[in-house]
Structures are given as structure tokens and as C-alpha cells.
Chain A
Amino acid sequence: MSEKQFFDEMWGRDAELRPPYQRFQNWFEGEDIARLRAKQREAEEVFRLTGITFNVYGRAEAEERLIPFDIIPRIISGREWQRLSRGIEQRVRAINAFLHDIYHRQEIVKAGRIPEQAISRNDAFLPQMIGVEPPGGIYTHIVGIDLVRTGDDQFYVLEDNARTPSGVSYMLENRETMLQMFPELFSQNRVQPVQSYPADLRRSLASCAPNGSDSPTVAVLTPGIYNSAYFEHAFLADQMGVELVEGNDLRVVDGKVAMRTTQGYQPIDVLYRRVDDDYLDPLNFNPDSALGIPGIMDVYRAGRITIANAPGTGIADDKAIYSYMPEIVEFYTGEKALLENVPTWRCAEPDALAYVLDHLSELVVKEVHGSGGYGMLIGPAATRKDLAEFRKKLMARPGNYIAQPTLSLSTVPIFTRNGLAPRHVDLRPFVLVGPNGINITPGGLTRVALKKGSLVVNSSQGGGTKDTWVLED
């Protein structure tokens, strides 16, 4: 019985309309399906014109694709959100404390809560960051926490994104599009606004500038126009009113990182970088990188630039470390974690590996360092051949994998040719961290698997997005 198996955020488990969707449903009942179909097409046209596209890796230059947008909002009540945001804030504080500890005294290792090799043998651990004090004491200025829901009050953290979380431009453009197309919905529902994100981001970044620069210069660093998220980089720079730079616009001048302008080199105080650690500094990291700024790490260590997020934060969102998050939260906050982790088997441990091999067809197996839904196995959906092949990979490099139970992800209706139909979703709220506090934008990015029954929401695998509403109760 599929109605019972999955929790639907609009209709619950028993086809009884849930309160946050009340007004929406009233509106929807009065709508003409043909008009909505036209609206759906109109929305796509808006996205195409605005150039809200992503580049597909490994394809020709011309390949810019739209992420499909679904016009049915995902609605969360104010009460639900409050609970969630407390959990998110606690988790983000713990992540920052963890990063500081890992790159300094490593108390958590000494206390035996995390095995030493989980850090020292981890590729995401950056020895260059040991003993470095990031300006303002902040490691993860921008965090995206991926959440899934399985029941009325049941949320799990699926993944922490502590490096360079993307997708916030979709959160903003989705809302902008909905405002344009369905203004009446926003008169009928009190939806908490998200539009202040770019201003908040700029303020938060500026508050982390090296020792109190008065009006710090902020810039966004992009790998360039061929990067899959280039649109978002340009969008954020534009919305914040700051320069969008590439590595070859920057160099170290007089002990500061500076950008080449039409009037000479101008120093930068805060660099919101959207490039990976490896491509940050060819002198300190990847010597083959053409993207980085030679010497930026020396400037950073001298405390003369803020890099957001700090290099080496990947150690906190690594999937192997993820399994220790309940311990990490408790260790640094002294409280039990408010948000639950998905139970996780670390295949590096022999008992866990044995269990995973025995139950492969029931589990989701992920690469420890993977992202974007690549290289994962979804047991229940896999063919016998897939399973056999994956078993080989798993046995060859068990330390490379973790396994989790297949969650019964909640569904939210999408608009199809025949009206509403449930599809699985996840949620990525965006969190800003500064010395003056933590700011969580109400809502976030809802990703939705457009294929019936599919659990994979990644845009690279055919997922779409929705506007996410948090109601003012």
C-alpha cells in the first residue's frame, strides 16, 4: 500500500489534508488545470530567459540545462520550522567547534570519541590548516544541511555541506518566479520571506573580515563560466554588489590578495570562494591547478584575508565523519543532538561490512567522498547485475563506502499533466555563520525526484526543484 508506506506532506498517511496546506488546497480547487499548465510553461520560459541554467559536466559548451521547476510549493508550518532550525543551529555550532578542535588540540580524538585514523587518514583533512586561526574564528561561513523527512515529526540529516554548498540561487529565483506568477497565493498565505539572503550573506561575510576592516571588500571566486554552478556564482556576486573574480584576476600584492581592476590592483578582505580546496593555491595544494592564486594560503595564515568557507572544512562533511555526528554534537554542545542522523554502517569496520554485504539489496551504499548522486547504489532499485558489480567494488575498497537503510522519504505533490501527483523530496536549508550569530533562511531548496517512485533528487540525475514555504503561524 503505497499511501501508507510514504508520508505525504500535503495529505499525511491517511489522505487527510495537513494544516499548512489548507489555504493552498482551497486555492488549488478553484484553479483551472489548463491555466496551471500554461503557468508551468511560462515558468520554464522565465528560467530559460534569465539564464538560470547549469552546465553539465563533460558536455559541449552549448549544453546548458534548466533544472526543472515545479509550480506546487512545498509548505512547512512555522512550528515545524522552529524545531528544525534549533536542530540546525546546534549542528552548525558543533561543526565549527569540531573543525577548530580538529585543527588544534584534537580533544575529541584524545577523548576517544573519534578514532585517530578517521582524521589523519582522511583526504579531506588539510595538514596546512593545523594551528591556523581563521578570522572571526569561523570555519564554515555558509552551510547547507540536507534533510529528509519520513513522518509528521520525523526529520533526518542526510548530509552536511560544509565546503561550498550550492543551490541558494534556486531558492531565491524559485520564490521570485512564484511571486510573479501567483501573487494571490502570497496574499492568502503568510509566507516568511527569503529575499534578504544576499544582503545577509554580504553582511555575514563582511563581519568575518580580518581584524576589523571598516568597509571590507568582498569578492566571489568562481572557477569560470564553464563551471556547472557559474550562474549561481554570478547571481550571488550581482545580488551582493561585489566583484566576481577568477584565479587569474587575483595575485598577491604587498602581502594582500588583490584583484586586477581597470585602475590597478585592489586588495580583497573577504573571498567567498566557490572553488575546491585543491584549486585554491597551486603553491600550497595542487601544483597543476591553473585556477588558484599562488601564495593565497600564506596571506591567509598571516590573517590578512578571510576565505569562506575556510580551507579544510571538508573534513566535517565527509560521509565517514558524518556517522560520528551524534557524538560530535554531544561532545561540543553538551546536549543530545536535536536532529537525527540516518543510521550508518561504516564499511571500513569488518562487522559493518559483513552486515552490509548480507543486506545489500535493502541498503543505500554511498562513496565516502562522492557527491551529486554519482557512484551510489540504491539496493532496492538495483538489478542483480548491479548488485554483483557493486559487491566487487565494495569488497575491493570497503573503506571507501558507507551504507544506510533506504529511507521512506516523504512526498510532496508535483503538478503533472493529470493534476497533482506525489513525488519524493529532500530539503536543503542554508545557514550563515558569523561571529555575531547564526542566520538560517526560512525555507531552503527543495529538490524533488520527478520520476514516479524515484528517490534520487539530484539535479544531475533528473531531479527538479520547488519553492519552499515556511508559514508564519
Chain B
Amino acid sequence: MHLAKTFIKIYYRDRQSLAFSLLFPLIFTLIFLFSGGEPDPTEIGLVNQSENDLSLKFVELVKENKAFAISEGDEVELRGQLIAGDLTALIIVPKDFDKSNTSRLRLLLDASQVRQVDAIKDSFDSMLLSIERELRGTQPLFTLSLEDVKARPQRYIDFLLPGILAYMLMNLCIAGSGYNLVEYRRRGILKRMFVTPIKPKDFIISIVLARMFIVLIQLSVILALAIGLLKINIIGGLYSLFGVIVLGAIIFLCIGFFLGSFAKTQEAIRPIALLFTLPQLILSGVFFPISSLPALIQPFAQALPLSVIASSMRDIANDGIPLFTLNFNFIGILAWIFISFFVATKFFNWQKVAS
């Protein structure tokens, strides 16, 4: 296919857009690299009003907890910081803090940060419990030791990366085929092409092959960075992962063609493409699991093209499930390949835009 080779040449010579398409993932990788992928400790203020031995010991133990960054001070000043949002919570150790009675610690929170209140209260309760044991010198009756059944370290970034890769694959592909198609048609290049005996199907296959080649290189760079700098584990092997990427590229390139068939101008293709990509970014479990969505839309969300690609990549990267496992994701991928190629060739029009 000489046409496919020529398209590779055209895309490769467009260095500027190649470089920019790598910029976002690079920045993303760097952000994760510098933050270490771990959440920052919660900023907590502490006011000690009692100053006896017990309370000093208590403060010392609180400071040992790595989940909190403690800053001590007087109540008025720390209250100000809490209201300004510099602190997430404020603990006040009362004057009558001793072993003889149940002391009432006051925890001041900014209720507008509702999202965090429950989590903070929980971790406080457990922290107080362990401090109490320590101070009273009692042995805990139970301890909880966390054992991951997958028995290997799994960080948020490990969950996130396959989804991010899938999302980038979708964007690169839709921009790659959809935007190109609109531009070529507007400038009459498509018309010139179809003066020759080339068939629309062959034309689509050529662009899909060429774009796939370019996208594979782009994703390889990102994957290499992720593995090299972020120490991502790809359990299931790179070949399987690239297999999914190739299949995903076919789906999204064909969908790009389909969307490009409805847009008259470069200005129109952007909102049309966003209409397709944005809901998927939210619904496809790229940033948080689909199971956290309302039950009603979960089946729908699971069947989205980005969902099947992302979760298939996650299966391979995190769980080592081979690509050719006859499961929901693989069937979903095959179905989407069929659907997207069908609509791409069916609605393809080199002359004017469809309806």
C-alpha cells in the first residue's frame, strides 16, 4: 500500500504537531513524577490549652502520624488559618486534659469541605484509639493487617495510567483521522484523490494504517517514560498491551472518519469531536472506577468504546490477563471495530458533507 506509506511520510514531516501531541502526556508524567504519586499529608492545626505531661505526650504522638502535618499555635491565629483554607482542621486540647476523666477534644472543621469531613473524622478516631492504647499501655485486642489478594503493590497511578493511555489513544486517533478528513475535503484534495480509481474503503484503510503507525510511536514514547520514570508495572506484557492499542486505534480512527463526515469545517469538527470524547472521559472509568457511577448507567458506561479499551488495558497492565481472553472487554472491542469500520465506510463522502 503505497498510499499508507506516503501518509506516514506526510505525518512524519509534520514535526510540529507530532511534538505538541507529546507535550500533554509529558507534562502529566512529570507532575506525577514530582508529586511521587502519593497524596500530600493533611494540614492540621493544634492548640494545646492544658500543657501538662499527658497532653504534651499526646501532642508528640499526634505528630508522629504521617497522614497529618501538624502546626501548633494559639487558637485565634489557627482559627484564622482554618477559615482562610490553609488548614483542613483544628484540634483543641482542653485545659482539663488528664487521665481521670474522658477528655473532650474539640475538632474544628470547615464544613464547606464536606468531602473530607468523614474521612478525617475516621482517621482521627483510629488515631485517638491507638494513642489511647499507647498512653494507657494496654495491648490492642485486634489488629488489622491489610493483605492485597493480588499480593503486589498497586498505586493510584497504576490504575490511572492505562486509562490515560486509552484516553490519549482516543484523542490522537480522532484528531488524526477526523480533522485530516475535514481539511482534505475542504481543500479539494479528496476530490483530486477520487478522480483516480481508488475506492473509499482502500483510502480509509491507508489512513488508518498510517495513523496507527504514528500513534504507536507516540504511545511508545509515553509508555517508555511511564515505565522508566514512574516505575509502572506492566504485568501482562507489552505485546498484549500494544495489541489492545492497535485494536483501539482502528476503532477510534474509524470513528474519527465517521465524525469527520458530518463536519463541514475545521471549526465544526472540534465541538463534534468533544461531544464524543468528553462524556467518555467521565463515564469510561479513566480517572475513577465505573462502579462509582449510578447503577442505572453502569451497563451503558461499560459498553463505551473507551471503557472496553481502557479496562482491557488495565486488565493487562495490572492483572496480567491476556488479550485474547473471551471476556466482556474483548467482545466489546471486536464489536466496536465492526461498528466503527461500518459507519466510517458507510458515511464516508469525499465531495460534500453527509446530511
Does B bind A? no
Residues of A at the B interface (CB closer than 8 Å) are none
